Amino acid sequence: MSTGAPELVQDVGGGIAPGRETSAEIAARSPLELFWRRVRRDRVTLASALFILGLVVVAVFAGQIVDLVGARPPNEQSTKFLDEFGSASGPDFAAHSYFGTDGLGRDVFSRTLYGARISLEVAIISTFLTVLIGVVLGVIAGYFRGWADTLLSRLMDVMLAFPVLLLALGLGAACSFGQGCVQMSFANVGQVMVVFGVAGAFLVVGWRLLRARGAGDARPRAAELAAGAAAWLVVIVPGLVLWLAVGGHGALITPGLPVVIFVIVIASWPYIARIIRGQTLSLREKEFVEAAKALGASDRRIMFRHILPNLVAPIIVYTTLVIPTTILFEAALSFLGVGVQPPTASWGAMISDATEIFDTAWWYMTFPGLALVLTVLAFNLVGDGMQDALNPKTRGR
Amino acid sequence: MTDGLAGPVGDAVVGAAGIAVGAGAPALVEVRDLEKRFPLRRGPLQRETGAVRAVDGISFDVREGETLGLVGESGCGKSTTARLVTRLLEPTAGTIRYRGEDITHRSRRELMALRRDMQMIFQDPYSSLNPRQTAGSIIGEPFVIHGIERDETRRRARVRGLMEQVGLNPEHYNRLPHEFSGGQRQRIGVARAIALKPRLVIADEPVSALDVSIQAQIINLLSDLQRELGLTILFIAHDLSVVRHMCDRVAVMYLGKIVEVASAEQLFAHPRHPYTGALLSAVPVPDPQLAKLRRRQVLGGDVPSPTAPPAACRFHPRCPKAQPICSREEPALEVKEGGNIAACHFPLTIEEVAGRLPVRPG
Ligand code: SF4
């Protein structure tokens, strides 16, 4: 049995068949039970999960922990804690300076703890948005196929080809001028969105017409064309709103948490959407979907009751694998200066600062670096463990 | 139209074919010149480079209360036919009438009422049940979709009743499909199909994925249910042995065409089309004496591709009786000796038939 799950083989009235049918009753295990059995035996996954749990506790109670051990608050600068040359001082347990200080005399220990808070905040919000957008668009593309699929798949290609880090670098460079803000107003963003949307709509309609000509079919239905073009309103309408309504006030994009999350989500959703699209494509061909159609089930019912529940396992696995990449992404953006803005503590920003004084203050880079590496590693290990535990093909153990 | 087969063949000829079983019973489903082509697209502009002609102009009736078998090798279009009749696929050409009403191009919404009347049993009991739904919720889904038995407790009671009716333990209501054996899963599929008391059940190879020992149980279950509920069944199978005990009439398909239609007795006693003869010679024989006497006829060659089916009689590249005319003129479906309707220029004779049958002739 390829499912790996022991099966109850006892057909009603089928007891005459010899062999396996008579071999008593094998207790059937539910997938959940099987999942727990496997996870419990997997020590690496368990240890990683405990580490993450600890990290969450630390992030939530960072303030209390810092008070408890007598360390200073994360943003308190003090020349008292610099060494005699006025630069960062190393760990000193007697002074409750466990991880030393940075160049401004701030406590690295409490900054590392507060950094966990930022990392997890970004990880949770952007992973949630990434998975939400990825799953919704992936299921729509895979289930409806046709023009919706063409549109979304091309969009994914564009997004995957988009040099996100370059964009981040550009933002970072722009930020180092003036007030530390990008001199691009929402109106500019709105204009770009409108142009992009209109061009996209024309491209889609043109493509459909061209393809229909080539295939020699009947002309595509007007409704379908209209729908294809209308999909771009999703981009055009908010663009117009930004341009005309918001943009007039000369709002500026300032780097910070929302920009970080936006960039991460834009860069990551296509990966999830692709995987989910592929899975949906194969699920929609299953006979149980056909059976639901034969019963007269609506598309909504098929997607919510028949397709989504069967996507739970891959969604869990890829969610756990997206979390570490978002943490790294946030660190990278903060390192480049477009992430979380000072004085807020972030691992990436701390590592970035530390590069300047690494030869004299090893501790400044070591502790946030270690925290980052361990966290990412733990999430990756848990993701791998989940994948093994949820995959019916890895047997027994 | 009281005849079993009509359309381009000519009603006069076929009308004379007094096929014994169910003659006179009104047709529940009338299929005429049904066609389904799946276009093949290639290149960046997705030009249509050809088409798979899965079903290529078939006509048949399913009469009220009968079981019609539709038999053929895999890829002959029988499953496509099932999905066209249930309108899971959109026909390319032809018409399908259900109780006199044209349902060929009805939209999904217009088909809702029909869905209660016409149900389907699927081939693979592993993939036809949603692995995340309990048996009870699978069987109860038709009620939910059609808004019947909205009351939770009453619905549960009906589902339990259905489980009992198909030979499942109602206490297994909350079990997931993977906790059942293949035969039990197929029983769940049957219960789901009969939940709304349909008139017509289309069974797409309902037993070919099951152990031989369990096949008979499911066949018996279907026969019993047919008697209790007065079902009409379109039974699709890839070999004749299964069909024999189940069907009143049998239609044999080859490469998207029907090549022979006859009552089950006629077909097993004297097949007329060489392809039917070949299929019959592959049916295992329980009588060892007879088995010794029998010549097994193995068909040479592969089934030709339905993208480019052979001209005229599609069976000619593999047919032992083929003559030049077979690749020039398409044989019409017409009544042959013994009452079978077959499409062949040189139908099998009594002598040729004698050595191949799984039963003693006469
Ligand atoms: S028409 Fe000719 S080729 Fe076709 S089945 Fe009959 S004998 Fe064979």
The A residues from 26 to 55 touching B (CB cutoff 8 Å) are: 28, 30-31
CB B359 within 8 A of CB B268: yes
Token pair for residue B113? 């009422």
In chain B, what residues touch A287 (CB-CB under 8 Å)? 122-124, 127-128
User: Chain centroid to CA A347: how far?
Assistant: 18
Nearest-neighbour CA in chain B from A288: distance (Å)? 4
In chain B, what residues touch A5 (CB-CB under 8 Å)? 178
User: Is the predicted pLDDT of residue A156 greater than 50, yes or no?
Assistant: yes
DSSP one-letter code for B308: S
* Chosen from A1, A7, A8, A11 to mutate, greatest number of chain B CBs within 10 A: A11
Q: Which residue CA neighbors atom 6 of ligand 1 most closely? A: B344
In angstroms, the CA A383 to CA A372 distance is 17
Are the Cβ atoms of A5 and B178 closer than 8 angstroms?
yes
In angstroms, the CA A193 to CA A254 distance is 19
Q: Counting runs of H as helices and runs of E as strands, what totals does chain B give?
A: 12, 12
Pocket test for ligand 1, best of B258, B326, B352, B353 (most atoms within 8 A of CB): B326
In chain A, what residues touch B192 (CB-CB under 8 Å)? 291, 295
CB B213 within 8 A of CB A16: yes
Q: Does this complex have an ipTM over 0.90?
A: no
Reported confidence tier of residue A5, pLDDT bands at 50, 70, 90: very low
In angstroms, the CA A41 to CA A397 distance is 8
pLDDT digits (tens, 9 = 90+) for A96-134: 677 777 767 777 788 888 888 888 888 888 899 999 999
Residue of A nearest to B210 (CA): A11
The minimal CB distance from A214 to the residues B45, B189, B214 is found for B45
Tens-level pLDDT at each residue, chain B (362 residues): 344 444 444 333 343 333 333 456 788 999 999 999 888 877 666 667 778 888 988 999 999 989 999 998 888 889 999 999 999 998 999 999 999 889 988 888 888 888 989 999 999 888 899 988 899 999 999 999 998 888 888 999 999 999 999 999 999 998 888 889 889 999 999 999 999 999 999 999 988 888 888 888 999 999 999 999 999 999 999 888 888 888 999 999 999 999 999 998 889 888 899 999 888 887 776 666 666 666 666 676 777 887 888 888 988 888 888 889 988 888 988 888 888 899 999 988 877 777 666 555 44
Closest by Cα among A112, A79, A78, A92 to A351? A112
When computed from its CA atoms, the radius of gyration of chain B, rounded to whole angstroms, is 21
Task: Say if strands B249-254 and B93-98 run parallel, antiparallel, or are unpaired.
Answer: unpaired
If you count them, how many residues does chain B have? 362
Answer whether A202 touches B (CB < 8 Å).
no
pLDDT digits (tens, 9 = 90+) for A36-89: 777 677 788 888 888 889 888 888 887 777 777 766 777 767 666 666 666 666
In angstroms, the CA B69 to CA B66 distance is 10
Closest by Cα among B354, B346, B330, B355 to B258? B330
What separation, in Å, do the N-terminal and C-terminal C-alpha atoms of chain B show? Answer: 32
What separation, in Å, do the N-terminal and C-terminal C-alpha atoms of chain A show? Answer: 16
Max Cα distance, chain B (Å): 68
How far is ligand 1, taken at its centre, from the CA of residue B255, in Å? 14
What is residue A17's predicted lDDT score, i.e. its pLDDT?
A: 38
**What is this structure's pTM?**
0.74
In angstroms, the CA A22 to CA A16 distance is 8
CB A352 within 8 A of CB A334: yes
Pocket of ligand 1 (CB under 6 A): B 273-274, 313, 315-316, 319, 321-322, 326, 331, 344-346
Closest by Cα among A170, A163, A155 to A255? A170
The minimal CB distance from B183 to the residues A11, A210, A293 is found for A11
Show the domains of chain B with their CATH numbers.
2-37+54-130+192-354 (3.40.50.300)
In chain A, what residues touch B112 (CB-CB under 8 Å)? 296
Nearest-neighbour CA in chain B from A38: distance (Å)? 19
